Structure 1
Amino acid sequence: MQLKQTNNWIVYSLVGFCLVALIFIRLYETQLFYDPFLVYFKNDYLNLPFPEYDTFLLLLNLISRYFFNTFFSLAIIFLLFKDFQLTKFAAFLYFFFFIILIFLFFGVLSFFDEQSNFLLFYVRRFLIQPLFLVLFIPAFYFQKKQS
């Protein structure tokens, strides 16, 4: 009994550490990542043109931020469900959605004007924030409960 309680305490502590890491990524986003759209979407972006940006630097920073969010999200999923196959499936989903979202993001920037800023806002939101974690945990929980 004591070993199981100690084990649960360690697991929940690690989950807490991963959540704190995700929070720190969000809190220090301006210092850690190049993203001219952070300021753009905090202002009256409905009436502003897209900001100037360095495509390579923006891509590199979007990839790194998505990677950090994915790493900590997958760690949380693994710690909560203790299922390597489920974690592999989640990793595949993260990769699949990243490919779709990154092409969509740069497609909107390249081929659409400022009238599509809502689409850009939401695609970017999925790239820079761990929203998939919020979707996957309940989905995996109900899937586990059903089987």
Structure 2
Amino acid sequence: MNTYIKTALAILLFLLLFVVRSASSNLFYDPLMEYFKNDYLYKNIDQLDVWRLMLHMLYRYVLNSVITLGLIWVLFERKDYLKFSAFFLMIAFVLLMVIFMILIRDNFEGGYLLPFYIRRFIIHPLFLLISLPAFYYQKLSNR
């Protein structure tokens, strides 16, 4: 792939991640956003539509994952990196969602930090920030 096209696509995909983040309050149902911004230390969680929340978290995760996989492909152009990332993202989502559902069912009685950070991993492309340096290091060490 031409270097200019590769650079333009990478920038476009990174910008798409910013667009998803900036438009998230309009696109996705997430009452926990307000809960964690305000008095989460002093009040109980409001009534949630749990299934709607889970569905919107799935939408957001899939959207971020597709952009993440696109970035990995544009930057490295390796099927093995893409397959590993897709499998990892799928397994991570299932595990994180199960834990998050259990924590919601318990109304965060064990504390708010664990659900806060699990939610962060689900709704933000943090795995991209972890995998890009790892794949880059792998690419350098295989030379």
TM range (shorter): over 0.9
Q: Establish whether residue 83 from structure 1 lines up as the match of residue 61 from structure 2.
A: no
Of the candidates 9, 15, 27, which is equivalent to residue 14 of structure 1?
Answer: 9
Distance in 1, matches of 2:78 and 2:27, equals 32
The question of whether the paired residues in 2 share the 8 Å contact of 1:108 and 1:116 is answered with no
- In structure 2, runs of 5+ residues without a counterpart are none
Root-mean-square deviation over aligned CA pairs: 1.2
More helix by share: 1
How many residue pairs get aligned? The number is: 142
- Per the TM alignment, residue 50 of structure 1 is displaced from its structure 2 partner at its CA by 1.4
Out of 25, 30, 34, the residue aligned to residue 30 of structure 1 is 25
Whether 1:110 and 2:105 are equivalent positions in the alignment is yes
Is residue 49–residue 114 contact of structure 1 (8 Å, CA) maintained in 2? no
Instruction: State the alpha-carbon separation in 2 of the partners of residues 133 and 113 from structure 1.
Output: 27
> Following superposition of structure 1 onto structure 2, how do residues 1-147 of structure 1 map, counting pairs within 5 Å?
7-111=2-106, 113-147=108-142
Q: What is the distance in 2 between the residues matched to 1:100 and 1:23? A: 25
Output the CA distance in 2 between the equivalents of 1:44 and 1:55.
Answer: 20
TM-score by length of 2: 0.94
| Paired AA for residue 146 in structure 1 | S
Structure 2 SS opposite 1:95:
helix
Deviation at 1:51, TM superposition (A): 2.2
Question: How far apart, in 2, do the equivalents of 1:52 and 1:12 lie?
Answer: 45
Tell me: CA distance 1:51–1:114, structure 2 relative to 1, closer, same or farther (3 Å): farther
Distance in 1 between residues matched to 2:55 and 2:116, nearest whole Å = 18
Question: Does the CA-based 8 Å contact 1:70-1:94 persist in structure 2?
Answer: yes
